[in-house]
Amino acid sequence: MAARRIAAAAGVADHRFVSMPQLMELSDMKSRKGFGGLPPTYIPMKNAIYYGLAAAYAEETRSSRIVAGHNREDTMVFEDTGDEFFLHLEKALLAGSQRLRRNRMKLWRPLGEMSKTEVVSLAERLGVPLELTWSCHLEGTEHCWRCQGCVARQKSFASAGIPDPLMPKKTKNV
Ligand SMILES: [Zn+2]
């Protein structure tokens, strides 16, 4: 699993996994009525759930930062990655925990103003092991290079002018 490999490379001391098999993407739901404009990979209220779990961990460990990796392009598609959502979520979390208030917990989005291309360039400059990253929406041992995540990855690496270490030689960048 890419998350385990990249966390190990970064020296993460306490990496926890929570299983949530009941969460569904739009593509798996019986009805998509009322979800207009959202991609099939959208998971209803995903970020309220994920950051609630992160806040529980922050409360337990007295952490003062929860770091979110959303970029500017995410906010154009998913309302639950934008300024409004994070502003109110942070307020709600702080209102619910004296311990979080005492530790001045902040939801931090360092990539929030950057495009995916800028994120790839920054990652390369910082020496991020890009060969350990995962963008595909499908499970497996290799990227499919056809899904929305794979297509966005190819475009971002191409426009950053950085060769993707995971790109098979026979597949051309889009
Ligand atoms: Zn894919």
174 residues of the chain, pLDDT tens digit each: 889 999 999 999 999 999 999 999 998 999 888 888 888 889 999 999 999 999 999 999 999 999 999 999 999 999 999 999 999 999 999 999 999 999 999 999 999 999 999 999 999 999 999 999 999 988 888 999 999 899 999 999 999 999 999 998 765 555
For residue 153, give both structure tokens: 């990855």
- Cα dihedral angle (42, 77, 137, 122), rounded to 10 degrees? -140
> Which residues have CB atoms below 5 A from the ion given as ligand 1?
136, 144, 147, 150
Neighbouring-strand partners of residue 108: 67
Give the 3-state secondary structure of residue 107.
Answer: strand
Report the distance separating Cα 12 and Cα 164, nearest Å: 24
For residue 25, give both structure tokens: 């993407």
Query: Taking Cα atoms as reference points, which of 25, 26, 46 lies closest to residue 35?
Result: 26
Provide the greatest CA pair distance for the chain: 55
- Outline where 13-115 has alpha helix (H): 46-61, 72-77, 83-95, 98-102
Model pLDDT, residue 170 = 64
Give 152 Cα–ligand 1 centroid separation in angstroms. 10
Give 87 Cα–ligand 1 centroid separation in angstroms. 32
Q: What is the pTM assigned to this prediction?
A: 0.88
Give the 3-state secondary structure of residue 98.
Answer: helix
Give 151 Cα–ligand 1 centroid separation in angstroms. 7
The answer to whether residues 172 and 46 touch, using CB atoms and an 8 Å cutoff, is no
Report the distance separating Cα 150 and Cα 41, nearest Å: 13
Give 38 Cα–ligand 1 centroid separation in angstroms. 18
Give 160 Cα–ligand 1 centroid separation in angstroms. 20
Q: What backbone phi and psi angles, to 5 degrees, belong to 142?
A: -135, 155
